[in-house]
Amino acid sequence: MEFVSNLSKMSSYVEEPVQYLLLTDHDFLKMNELIGREIKIEFQKEKYCISCGNQFQDLYRMGFCKNCFYTSPEAGESIIRPELSKAHEGVEDRDLAFEKEYQLQPHVVYLANSGGLKVGVTRDRQKTTRWTDQGASQAIVLALTTNRYEAGLIEVALKEVVADKTVWQKMLRNEDPEVDLIAERKRLAGHLNEELARFVSDDTTLYNLKYPVKNYPAKVKGINLDKNPEVQAILQGIRGQYLIFEGGGVLNIRGHSGYRVKISF
């Protein structure tokens, strides 16, 4: 069977294990069903901006063309740096209506174990999606805020003492260290000043996430479709936004957003 797709972030939903869907031109691929099978991914040497949809010889960053990266609200500074949000003040960055809808809703500051302890910010209603996107094995909510700006301030304070990046190589080798997230939550909550500590959540639920991986590799090597436009190997599993192949090759689907590929199996 063959499917064609402009790659975009895989959708996921929490079951045991996590289930993944990849959007194609006319359907969704249930990616879990391909694990254990040989698949072939061929880059078609075409790239399309994930915002305007136009074709470009190359994309600028995050799947955006250069113009959209600097003008689209979907690529605004507050997406990457929540503390720069301004919608709560009624101040527009690129599109105030979009920014109000995105920023002025409950957000969580969370702790996760994805190759190591990390802190992050996301919208409350999609927190489990965020955790599966990052390949977290465990996660816990530390704070619940009314908007993105407040969550950003907490994250900035906590980044002084804890990382905010996923250690993807360790995560894909399944080398998550032993971390007591409940104890870390208590420790890091104590690092906040009185103004920020009022947002600490009463929710102490510890989330455990299992991924559809048959065998984790001892070593991993990122696949770049610009350098290696054809990948053909047995799919061993999926974790985060990565396809894990036999032999240790790993393909970051989100990192290739906008790339047009043909998938066959």
Q: pLDDT tens for residues 191-243?
A: 999 999 999 999 999 999 999 999 999 999 999 999 999 999 999 999 999 99
For the beta carbon of residue 156, count every other beta carbon within 10 angstroms.
Answer: 16
Domain ranges of the chain: 2-70+213-261, 76-208
pLDDT tens digit sequence for 162-172: 999 999 999 99
CA gap 177, 170 in Å, rounded: 9
Cβ of 174: how many Cβ atoms within 10 Å?
A: 17
Which helix (H) or strand (E) covers residue 189, if one does?
Answer: helix 181-189
**Could you tell me the sign of the dihedral formed by the alpha carbons of 87, 164, 179, 158, in that order?**
negative
In DSSP terms, 117 is beta-bridged to 113
105-157 residue pLDDT tens: 999 999 999 999 999 999 999 999 999 999 999 999 999 999 999 999 999 99
pLDDT at res. 211: 99
Q: CA triplet 44, 46, 47: central angle to 5 degrees?
A: 130
In the predicted model, what is the mean pLDDT of residues 10-38?
97
198 Cβ contact list (under 8 Å, min separation 6): none
26-82 pLDDT, tens per residue? 899 999 999 999 999 999 999 999 999 999 999 999 999 999 999 999 999 999 999
**How far does Cα 47 stand from its chain's mean position?**
21
Residue 130 is predicted with a pLDDT of 98
The predicted structure's pLDDT at residue 125? 98
83 and 156 Cβ atoms separated by less than 8 Å? yes
Could you give the dihedral angle defined by the CA atoms of residues 66, 67, 72 and 75, in that order, rounded to the nearest 10 degrees?
20
C-alpha dist (Å) from residue 76 to 56, 71, 84, 182, 225? 21, 8, 10, 33, 27
Instruction: Name the phi and psi angles at 243, rounded to 5.
Output: -90, 130
